[in-house]
Amino acid sequence: MTSQVPSRIVITGANRGIGLEFVQEYLQEGQRVFALCRHPESAPALAEQHKEHPDLLTVLPCDVTDDVSVHHAFDDVAAQVDGIEVLINNSGSYGRKGGTVADLDFREIEAVFGVNTLGPLRVTRAFLPLLGEGNNPKVVNITSIMGSIHDNGTGGSYAYRLSKAALNMATRNLALDLREQEIICVAVHPGWVKTDMGGPEAPLTVDDSVSNMLRLIDSLDAQHSGGFFNYRGRELPW
């Protein structure tokens, strides 16, 4: 983003990987960032960023699966700003990789849904009052091509695939629901990225993924709302 007035950004799952890179790159742009994660006291990289940018970065506890925790995070943000421009729902959980229907652990699937699908809905609903006061507000749900029904040719990873497919539908619903409020909502696949979740064999660096997503987020307008895009802005099949 290049506006002279700093944008106000809320990022969940901000303690590592893609979320942390979003924090770092937005801070480099001079934006006002609220970094949310479950255990800030165990997030040394965020603590270091706060030392470097004490006036731009606020680190807050937030468990996206817990209503009370999310509302406390909202209250903390609302006490400092009267609106936000971007909400990035980045918190994620994978669950068991591979596997067949015989291997399913339904409690695990429910837990993954709680983070990947219900979490973004819970956070978005809580932050609607601030989004409504933002300038050209945007909700960015970090999803995955593994949530694409069209693209699924290998199966497995039930919890992750199902939860991301549901998040894609939730994103489309949010876009329709919030259209009159002019809040843009998109689902973005960050690529296969070298993170704790993506693993060392992933071909894409976190920096490359996030820098491209920042350009995409900056370019979003009403015609994109409800869409499913990769990190370079290419529309993906549902």
As given in the structure block, the two tokens for residue 116 are 């990947």
**pLDDT at 51 (0 to 100):** 98
Q: Is 24 helix (H, G, I), strand (E, B) or coil?
A: helix
pLDDT confidence of 1, banded at 50, 70, 90? very low
Q: Exactly one of 26, 160, 194, 231 is catalytic; which is it?
A: 160
* 138 labelled catalytic: no
CB 160 within 8 A of CB 144: yes
- What is d(CA 232, CA 17) in angstroms, rounded to the nearest whole number? 18
Rounded (10°) CA dihedral 189, 191, 194, 199: 80
Query: Which CATH number is correct for 8-230, 3.60.110.10, 3.40.50.720, 3.40.710.10, 3.10.580.10?
Result: 3.40.50.720
Q: Where are the domains of the chain?
A: 8-230
Annotated catalytic residue, options 94, 158, 164, 231: 164
**Residue 94 bears catalytic tag:** no
Residue 4: pLDDT band with limits 50, 70, 90: low
Return d(Cα 133, Cα 121) in angstroms, integer.
19
Q: Above 80 in pLDDT, residue 194?
A: no
Is pLDDT at 207 greater than 60 in this prediction? yes
